[in-house]
Amino acid sequence: MNQIAEGVSKVLYFRKLGETTAATLVLQTEHSKSYKRDREAVVTKAGRVFRAAQLEDEISISALQSTSDDAYKMIDNSIVDGYALECWEVDLSKKKPDSTNQFQAEYRQGWMTEWESTSPAEDDPTVEGTYVTFGKRQEGFATVPEADLNKNGILGYVFHDMIASDVPDDGLADLAAQPSSPVA
């Protein structure tokens, strides 16, 4: 049976090309991918033929600004200093069989071409950007850092099975164990 995909399960990770550690914007709210390939008509004596242009692959990103976010600083610096970034879109709902922290992912290399942060007086500060892919995306499995998957990590909680030996102690289960403050 087909089900609606959950956008919250797809998380972007970034890394400066050549570095060793990837990071995610901690308060991602949305991202979208768009592909475009123009077709140019060439008139010949035998009629029109069409030539394909290069693929344009972009990711648009939206996030709330955090008080401490290494990925935000890296992305901000990448557009100012002009260096390339690697990007992974990791689908946390598609775990690799027999793996503890590998998930289906798309991998790209490219550049941030737009990066705009806002600091309104009444609403939450946000950031929006556009990442442009060099060449063609690649598909495979990405290893999500163990620290991001644990109960105190960026992703909040991990997948749990329905078996009795896999009772969650993270996410809402962790919140339920905390004493609530009385309402004044």
Q: CA 114 to CA 92: how far, in whole Å?
A: 27
Q: Give the per-residue pLDDT at 51.
A: 86
- CATH number (2.30.110, 2.40.160, 1.10.30, 1.20.80) of 7-149 reads 2.30.110
Name the more confident of 175 and 145: 145
Question: What residues does each domain of the chain span?
Answer: 7-149, 159-184
Q: Give the per-residue pLDDT at 53.
A: 83
Q: List, in sequence order, every residue forming a beta bridge with 107; answer none if it has no partner.
A: 88, 138
Residue ranges of alpha helices (H) inside 36-163 are 70-81, 146-149
- The predicted-structure confidence for 17-74, as pLDDT tens digits, reads as follows 999 999 988 888 899 999 898 888 889 999 899 888 888 999 999 999 888 888 999 9
Q: What are phi and psi of 70, to 5 degrees?
A: -65, -35
What six digits make up the tokens of 60? 């648009």
**144 touches 103 (CB < 8 A):** yes
Instruction: Enter the pTM of the model.
Output: 0.77
For residue 184, name the pLDDT band (cuts at 50, 70, 90). Answer: very low
Over the Cα atoms of the chain, what is R_g?
21
Task: Return the half-sphere exposure (C-beta side, CA atoms, 13 A cut-off) of residue 58.
Answer: 11
Q: Residue 34: which residues within 8 A CB-CB, separation 6 or more?
A: 56, 57, 58, 59, 60
Instruction: State the distance between the two ends of the chain, measured CA to CA, in whole angstroms.
Output: 48
Q: CA 58 to CA 142: how far, in whole Å?
A: 20
